[in-house]
């Protein structure tokens, strides 16, 4: 299937085969844990994974760019505020688990830039950490093993089918995300500046279809291990719950962004109030 696929579908197939991609599929619906997906969210998630057409091509109401038929634009579009909401949701998930890992995390909003001495002048344009781990001795980052007290986690989310990512995403499973890590490290010389402030800079790049970069995965394994130890829980269970949380939140954000771009539109597969009315995604998933 991969050999016959075009570049667009190769990027999708490789992204959906990455570890942790589709973790929401393993999630038991649970209202108490806020893990219950709506029918629309399940339909969106299944159709995105299978590459089923979700709507007619139409202009995006926020950036006026082309919204293609497969719904990927809503995961790429920087307008409308959806990317920021998604970023903050994933950031908060990582923060919550860092707290349970007793890594003494601080959110960017609490003044991390001042803590790093970067609050004055042009430094303020680029902020180095969404979550700063102030007690990260047990977190393995890059080539450092222990001894690192502070680690700046910089969260990013990329869509492998974005035009600037498509080529590399069609060649490597995590190509788009790993490329974005290099961009983050080089931007405003952030890695070097953090090192000078005795902080390890660690980009944490998630994919909108699931999956995360190799180093970020290692950091998250360390955090989940600490959570398991602190709560007397099996590490496998903690990790599964973490990825289910990330999977559900990412899918919800993507689906919401999709709906917001289709409100009031009509046409094949795009009907006001019910964008999924004509979508055969679930039938396809069921092999009908
Ligand atoms: Zn747009």
- Please identify every residue whose CB atom is under 5 Å from ligand 1, which is an ion: 60, 62-63, 65, 77
* pLDDT tens, position by position, 162-219: 888 777 777 777 666 677 777 766 666 777 777 777 788 888 999 999 888 888 899 9
Q: How far is ligand 1, taken at its centre, from the CA of residue 136, in Å?
A: 38
Residue 31 has pLDDT above 80, yes or no: yes
Give the span between the Cα atoms of 281 and 16, in whole angstroms.
Answer: 16
The reported pLDDT for the residue numbered 136 is 79
State in Å: Cα 111 to ligand 1 middle.
31
> 86: CA distance to ligand 1 center in Å?
15
Report strand pairing: 58-59 vs 151-158.
unpaired
pLDDT digits (tens, 9 = 90+) for 220-263: 999 999 999 999 999 999 999 999 999 999 999 999 999 898 87
CA distance 193 to 147: 19
The CA 150 to ligand 1 mean position distance, Å, reads 37
Q: What is the CA radius of gyration of the chain?
A: 20
DSSP state of 162: S
Q: What is the pLDDT of residue 97?
A: 93
CA angle 269, 275, 279 (to 5 degrees): 45
Q: What tens digit of pLDDT does each residue of 122-139 get? A: 445 556 678 888 887 777
* pLDDT tens-digit series, residues 136-169: 777 766 655 555 678 889 898 989 888 887 777 7
Q: How many angstroms separate the alpha carbon of residue 189 from the centre of ligand 1? A: 29
What's the 257 CA to ligand 1 centre distance in angstroms? Answer: 10
Helix (H) or strand (E) holding 59: strand 58-59
pLDDT at 112: 58
Distance of CA 248 from the midpoint of ligand 1 (Å): 22
Q: pLDDT, tens digit, for every residue of 40-80?
A: 899 999 999 999 988 888 899 999 899 888 889 999 999 99
CA of 49 from ligand 1 middle (Å) equals 20
């Amino acid at each position: 299937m991969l050999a016959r696929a075009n570049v667009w579908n190769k990027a999708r197939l490789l992204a959906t085969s990455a570890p942790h991609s589709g973790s929401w599929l393993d999630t038991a619906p649970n209202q108490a844990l806020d893990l219950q997906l709506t029918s629309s969210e399940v339909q969106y998630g299944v159709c995105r994974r299978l590459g089923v057409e979700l709507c007619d091509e139409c202009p995006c109401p926020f950036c006026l760019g082309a919204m293609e038929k497969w719904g990927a634009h809503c995961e790429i579009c920087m307008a409308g505020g959806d990317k920021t909401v998604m970023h903050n949701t994933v950031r908060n998930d990582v923060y919550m688990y860092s707290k349970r890992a007793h890594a003494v995390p601080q959110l960017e909003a609490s003044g991390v830039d001042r803590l790093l001495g970067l609050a004055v002048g042009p430094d303020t344009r680029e902020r180095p950490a969404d979550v700063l781990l102030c007690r990260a001795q047990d977190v393995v980052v890059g080539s450092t093993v222990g001894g690192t007290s502070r680690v700046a986690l910089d969260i990013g989310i990329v869509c492998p089918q974005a035009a600037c990512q498509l080529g590399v995403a069609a060649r490597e499973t995590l190509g788009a995300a790993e490329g974005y890590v290099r961009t983050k490290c080089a931007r405003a010389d952030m890695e070097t500046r953090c090192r000078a402030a005795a902080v390890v800079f660690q980009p944490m790049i998630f994919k909108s279809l699931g999956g995360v970069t190799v180093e970020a995965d290692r950091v998250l394994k360390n955090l989940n291990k600490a959570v398991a130890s602190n709560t007397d829980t099996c590490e496998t269970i903690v990790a599964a719950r973490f990825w289910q949380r990330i999977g559900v939140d990412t899918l919800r954000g993507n689906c919401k962004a999709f709906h917001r771009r289709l409100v009031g539109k009509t046409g094949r597969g795009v009907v006001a109030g019910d964008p999924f009315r004509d979508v055969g995604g679930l039938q396809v998933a069921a092999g009908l």
